[in-house]
Amino acid sequence: MDEAAAHLRAGRLVAIPTETVYGLAGNALDESVVLSIYRVKNRPTFDPLILHTDTAQRLAQWVEGIPPPLDLLAERFWPGPLTLLLPKRAVISDLVTAGLPTVAVRIPAHDAARALLARLDFPLAAPSANPFGYISPTQPQHVLAQLGDAIDYVLDGGPCRVGVESTIVGLDAGGAPVIVRQGGISIEEIATVCPGIRLAAPSALPRAPGELPSHYAPRTPMVLLPTGSPPPQDVADRAALIFWKPEERFVDGPRRFVLAPDGLLETGARNLYRVLREADACGARIIYAYPAPEEGLGRAINDRLRRASNG
């Protein structure tokens, strides 16, 4: 922990664990560090970053405040996989926010991440610790395989508990809360605090991370199949097949994968990126995948599967 903090204070990049995915972290108040995050990820600077800190009390240094009803969401879901779009103070560079007046902020529910953040007098900008557009890392080995030579340190916090990125919530032009990105907190859970909340309308440019239509994608071409449809006829010809759970059509084999062996949405979310990586590495020429149930965390899983198959 002390070594990771020392690297960050020196302006270096460190991969940190969170409950969602591993983040590529650096001092969010240092523009040269922020630029190095974009460079290492090969990420376009029009795609904003998320700030991470350890307590809501520290946010007053970096944001103008938490407007209602976002304050109710913060009280209910922080620490946790919730990101809020908040009006930024001038100390936060436009490079972090892609020129937007709001900055994405969250408090992770991971003991190691929060202990590290508590050692620092600056927030961390921490997008997922992977090359831009590719599958997010949920284990330290994933980070090392993709960015090991490009960063200074990986803080090993074990496998990520949630496995998909945070849910992002902001306010629309009329001041009503909207979900900008689906993630680790379901729409149903958000609605217990903000009844009637809806998904934000599509935007030409990202208002928050993870909004691009093609994202979280394997290198192998991928197709999302309709629920209940039969496997394609070419499935035996070097094609990988991802099932939601074991079923009659599932035949075990080196190119057959299951997201949720127990059928639970939480299990499927936790396994999603690991399974996508394994399917990408199995030598298949194409990956076919079946969606999760379109409810709860299944909505976020299906969002990621759609973006992974949109390349």
- 235 assigned to some structural domain: yes
Check whether residue 177 and residue 248 sit in a common domain: no
**CATH code assigned at 256:** 3.40.50.11030
Residue 311: band (very low, low, confident or very high) from pLDDT cuts 50, 70, 90: low
90-97's contacts with Cβ under 8 Å and 24+ in sequence apart are: 91/29, 91/61, 91/62, 92/28, 92/29, 92/51, 92/62, 92/63, 93/29, 93/31, 93/34, 95/31, 95/34, 95/35, 95/45, 96/28, 96/34, 96/48, 96/49, 96/51, 96/125, 97/48, 97/49
Check whether residue 37 and residue 180 sit in a common domain: yes
Q: Mean pLDDT over residues 30-35, rounded?
A: 97
Mean pLDDT over the full length of the chain: 93
Check whether residue 189 and residue 233 sit in a common domain: no
Check whether residue 127 and residue 49 sit in a common domain: yes
Check whether residue 147 and residue 267 sit in a common domain: no
- 99 assigned to some structural domain: yes
Check whether residue 153 and residue 60 sit in a common domain: yes
* pLDDT of residue 216 exceeding 70: yes
Percentage of residues in the chain having pLDDT higher than 70: 97
Check whether residue 36 and residue 125 sit in a common domain: yes
- 283 assigned to some structural domain: yes
**Cis status of the peptide bond prior to 218, with omega within 30 of 0:** no
Domain count of the fold of the chain:
2
Cα 1 from chain centroid (whole Å): 23
- 302 assigned to some structural domain: yes
Check whether residue 90 and residue 164 sit in a common domain: yes
Tell me how far apart the alpha carbons of residues 309 and 210 are, in angstroms, rounded to a whole number: 14
**CATH code assigned at 138:** 3.90.870.10
Query: Computed over its alpha carbons, how large is the radius of gyration of the chain?
Result: 19
- 238 assigned to some structural domain: yes
* pLDDT of residue 203 exceeding 90: no
**Structural domain ending residue among the three candidates 147, 166, 199:** 199
In DSSP notation, 49-117 reads: -EEE-S-GGGGGGTBS---TTHHHHHHHH-SSSEEEEEEBPTTS-HHHHTT-SEEEEE----HHHHHHH
- 45 assigned to some structural domain: yes
User: Which pLDDT does position 165 carry in this prediction?
Assistant: 97
**Cis status of the peptide bond prior to 221, with omega within 30 of 0:** no
Query: Sign of the C-alpha dihedral, residues 178, 20, 35, 30?
Result: positive
User: Which pLDDT does position 48 carry in this prediction?
Assistant: 95
Check whether residue 43 and residue 140 sit in a common domain: yes
3-state secondary structure of 129: coil
Check whether residue 178 and residue 240 sit in a common domain: no
* pLDDT of residue 234 exceeding 90: no
Q: Mean pLDDT over residues 272-290, rounded?
A: 95
* pLDDT of residue 211 exceeding 90: no
Residue range of the domain that includes 109: 2-199
Check whether residue 45 and residue 182 sit in a common domain: yes
Tell me how far apart the alpha carbons of residues 140 and 55 are, in angstroms, rounded to a whole number: 25
Check whether residue 166 and residue 126 sit in a common domain: yes
User: Which pLDDT does position 233 carry in this prediction?
Assistant: 76
User: Which pLDDT does position 247 carry in this prediction?
Assistant: 78
